[in-house]
């Protein structure tokens, strides 16, 4: 384990929060000129090129043949499925609401721990899952009004589930390679899977205005490449539960960025639902910390 530097960890966490806070706004701008599949592919072509430059400068390990299925799975859940669901979902969900729904990842992690990995899930955590899902329902209902519940919100929840699967696989296998190596192969394998959306991309790029090109470039370099590296660094320095708690600042950051760049103003129901989701996730992580503290007495 590298020597911990509190200042570096803090700066890395703040960088991740700002990058991922910008992501819903960047996606909304990108969708004004691109189809969801084209946007995801172009974003990660930029990210892949950027990661290739870093890999050439820093050097990375060669993947073992037996690890190729794992790396493809990481790319599928972290890049392909996650961002396709996110892009299609944001066609009908505001940037602020999307950031809240995406923050439900720990709730899905608890479900995966029980149903997939056969871990014991306490009654407290089950209660947090139920409350958090109710909060997500409030966000979906309140984003466009109670009378017009948009199913696109379910796609954002699918993106959160996909990220939970990536997170679980990454934590179980991250010791096989360095953080840079894992991020590079995750981005590249996910981009490879997205090549099914290649037809028509060139014409879409030619039609897109300059501000959309800029938004996609920012998405590719910062939330899709540098933020992944920064988050991998954070996870290697501190416990995952402590690191995840800092990400509760992502939805408020996303709402502020969306308000500044898109003029979005989240409604009262969205704010209430966001509060319910974040409290449930916070309570879930606090139970983990209380349990560790109690066992150390």
Q: What is the DSSP string of 51-62?
A: HHHHHHHH--PP
- Residue 219's nearest CA partner among 1, 5, 25 is 25
pLDDT at 48: 96
| Residue 272 belongs to some domain of the structure | yes
Q: Are 135 and 283 in contact (CB under 8 A)?
A: no
119 domain residue, yes or no: yes
- Most confident region among 210-219, 222-231, 240-249 by mean pLDDT: 210-219
- pLDDT surpasses 60 at 149: no
Whether residue 159 contacts residue 88, with contact meaning beta carbons closer than 8 Å, is answered with: no
Query: What's the mean pLDDT in 183-201?
Result: 95
Strand, helix or coil for residue 4: coil
Concatenated DSSP letters of 183-208: HHHHHHHHHHHHGGG-TTHHHHHHHS
Cα–Cα distance for residue pair 78/87, rounded to 1 Å: 14
pLDDT, tens digit, for every residue of 32-78?
999 999 999 999 999 999 999 999 999 899 999 999 999 999 999 99
> Is residue 1 one of the residues assigned to a domain?
no
In the chain, what percentage of residues exceed pLDDT 70?
Answer: 85
Name the residue range of residue 54's domain. Answer: 6-295
In sequence order, the 6+-apart residues with CB closer than 8 A to the CB of 63 are 71, 177, 181, 185
251-275 per-position pLDDT tens digit: 888 888 998 999 988 878 888 888 8
Task: Give the span between the Cα atoms of 289 and 77, in whole angstroms.
Answer: 28
Q: First and final CA of the chain: distance in angstroms? A: 25
Specify whether the CB–CB gap between 46 and 217 falls below 8 A: yes
How many domains, in total, are found in the chain?
1
Q: What's residue 294's pLDDT? A: 38
Average pLDDT over residues 231-247: 72
| Distance in angstroms (rounded) separating the CA atoms of residues 15 and 22 | 11
Confidence of residue 293 (pLDDT cuts 50, 70, 90): very low
C-alpha closest to that of 129 among 256, 290, 291, 280 = 280
pTM, whole model, 2 decimals?
0.83
Whether residue 285 is predicted with pLDDT greater than 80 in this model: the reply is: no
Average pLDDT of the chain? 83
Report the distance separating Cα 55 and Cα 165, nearest Å. 25
pLDDT of residue 4: 62
Angle 293-296-297 from CA coordinates, rounded to 5°: 95
* Stretch 187-216: mean pLDDT: 96
- What phi and psi values does residue 204 have, to the nearest 5 degrees? -65, -40
- 290 within some domain: yes
Contact 96, 260 (CB under 8 A): no
Would you place residue 10 in the very low, low, confident or very high pLDDT band (cuts 50, 70, 90)? Answer: confident
Residue 235 falls within a domain, yes or no? yes
Which pLDDT tens digit goes with each residue over 97-137?
Answer: 888 888 777 677 667 766 666 666 678 877 887 887 788 77
Region 186-204 average pLDDT? 96
Helices (H), the chain: 6-30, 36-58, 68-75, 81-89, 95-102, 105-115, 123-143, 152-173, 179-194, 201-207, 210-221, 227-237, 240-246, 250-262, 268-295
User: Alpha-carbon distance 247 to 102, whole Å?
Assistant: 11
For tokens 């992944």, what's the residue? Answer: 228
Q: Would you place residue 241 in the very low, low, confident or very high pLDDT band (cuts 50, 70, 90)?
A: low
What's the whole-number mean pLDDT along residues 141-165?
Answer: 75
Structural domain includes residue 71: yes
């Amino acid at each position: 384990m590298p020597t911990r530097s509190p200042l570096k960890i803090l700066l890395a966490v703040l960088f991740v929060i700002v990058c991922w806070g910008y992501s819903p706004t960047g996606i909304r701008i990108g969708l004004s000129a691109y189809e969801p599949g084209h946007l995801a592919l172009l974003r990660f072509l930029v990210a892949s090129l950027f990661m290739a430059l870093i890999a050439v400068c820093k050097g990375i390990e060669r993947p073992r043949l037996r690890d190729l299925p794992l790396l493809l799975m990481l790319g599928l859940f972290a890049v392909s499925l996650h961002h396709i669901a996110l892009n299609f979902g944001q066609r009908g969900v505001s940037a602020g609401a999307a950031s809240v729904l995406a923050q439900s990842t720990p709730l899905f992690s608890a479900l995966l721990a029980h149903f997939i990995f056969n871990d014991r899930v306490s009654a407290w955590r089950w209660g947090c899952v139920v409350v958090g899902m109710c909060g997500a329902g409030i966000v979906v209902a309140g984003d466009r009004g109670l009378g017009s519940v948009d199913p696109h919100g379910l796609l954002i929840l699918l993106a959160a589930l996909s990220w939970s699967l990536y997170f679980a696989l990454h934590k179980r296998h991250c010791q096989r390679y360095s953080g840079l190596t894992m991020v590079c192969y995750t981005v590249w394998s996910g981009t490879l899977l997205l090549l099914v959306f290649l037809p028509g991309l060139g014409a879409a790029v030619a039609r897109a205005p300059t501000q959309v090109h800029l938004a996609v470039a920012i998405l590719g370099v910062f939330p899709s490449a540098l933020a992944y590296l920064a988050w991998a660094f954070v996870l290697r320095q501190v416990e995952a539960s402590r690191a995840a708690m800092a990400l509760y600042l992502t939805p408020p950051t996303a709402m502020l960025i969306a308000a500044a760049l898109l003029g979005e103003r989240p409604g009262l129901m969205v704010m209430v639902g966001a509060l319910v989701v974040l409290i449930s996730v916070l309570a879930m992580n606090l139970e983990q910390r209380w349990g560790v503290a109690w066992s150390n007495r």
